[in-house]
């Protein structure tokens, strides 16, 4: 997998994207069929699934066949409602998407658009980002709106190191203990020639 370096300059460090291709990882992975790891994963998955209100701040990098860039991101989620504010290389410098699983509105500069969340994300970034699935993936767990995951690999702590879902190869790292459990701070996804990376600087939980 090849990434345009400019899409990742905001990270301030070199990202080892080849991990997704080679399957190598600095995270100690264990077989999810192991009784201990399976039990730890089930406990972790249940706890993360119960987090229904949260806020993350950080950076988003993205690359599609014809477009790429990076942006700061401030994502506030309350059950199925969300507001995602991004500031970056867009024409007007700032965009905000808010809505629910089915419908969203985007304010981009002086223009306002209404459509599905995924369509608006595609319009803004050129990337078919599955916004509804991302709300689960940022917590390091599969989306219940999609088919079961494949190629699940777990860390020794019982958290996901990587899995595949909805055509996306996903990896999770930099886990930190928060008020709501062990959550990732780095999520990488690739689907064909589309790729994204989210680096989270801060997790907050307004009303859990």
109-154 pLDDT, tens per residue?
A: 888 999 999 999 998 888 888 899 999 999 999 999 999 999 999 9
Return the pLDDT at 82.
96
CA neighbor of 191 nearest in space, from 133, 108, 135, 145:
133
Quick one: what percent of the chain has pLDDT higher than 70? 80
Return the pLDDT at 4.
36
Q: Which residue has the higher pLDDT, 81 or 21?
A: 81
**pTM: predicted TM-score of the whole model, two decimal places:** 0.82
Q: Which domains does the chain have, with CATH numbers?
A: 5-165+196-204 (2.50.20.10)
Q: Three-state secondary structure along the chain?
A: CCCCHHHHHHHCCCCCCHHHHHCCCCCCEECCCCHHHHHHHHHHHHHHHCCCEEEEEEEEEEECCCCEEEEEEEEEEECCEEEEEEECCCCCCEEEEEECCCCEEEEECCEEEEECHHHHHHHHHCCCCCHHHHHHHCCCCCCCCCCCCEEEEEECCCCEEEEEECCEEEEEECCEEECCEEECCEEEEEECCEEEEEEEEEEECCCC
pLDDT tens digits along 53-98: 999 999 999 998 887 888 999 999 999 999 999 997 665 578 999 9
208: confidence class by pLDDT, cuts 50, 70, 90 = low
Return the pLDDT at 125.
85
- pLDDT at residue 194 greater than cutoff 70: yes
Return the structure tokens found at 178. Answer: 């928060």
32: confidence class by pLDDT, cuts 50, 70, 90 = low
28: confidence class by pLDDT, cuts 50, 70, 90 = very low
Return the pLDDT at 171.
98
């Amino acid at each position: 997998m090849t990434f345009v370096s400019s899409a990742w300059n905001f990270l301030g460090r070199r990202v080892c994207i080849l991990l997704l291709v080679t399957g190598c990882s600095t995270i100690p992975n264990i077989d999810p069929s192991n009784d201990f790891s399976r039990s730890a994963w089930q406990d972790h998955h249940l706890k993360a699934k119960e987090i229904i209100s949260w806020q993350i701040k950080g950076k988003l990098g993205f690359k599609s066949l014809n477009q790429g860039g990076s942006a700061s991101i401030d994502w506030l989620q309350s059950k199925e409602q969300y507001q995602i504010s991004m500031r970056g290389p867009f024409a007007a410098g700032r965009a905000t998407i808010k809505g629910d699983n089915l419908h969203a509105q985007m304010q981009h500069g002086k223009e306002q658009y209404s459509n599905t969340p995924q369509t608006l994300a595609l319009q803004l970034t050129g990337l078919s980002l599955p916004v509804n699935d991302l709300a689960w993936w940022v917590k390091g767990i599969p989306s219940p709106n999609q088919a079961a995951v494949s190629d699940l690999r777990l860390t020794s702590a019982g958290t996901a190191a990587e899995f595949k879902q909805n055509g996306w190869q996903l990896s999770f790292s930099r886990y930190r203990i928060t008020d709501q459990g062990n959550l990732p701070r780095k999520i990488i996804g690739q689907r064909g020639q589309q790729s994204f990376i989210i680096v989270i600087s801060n997790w907050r939980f307004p009303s859990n």
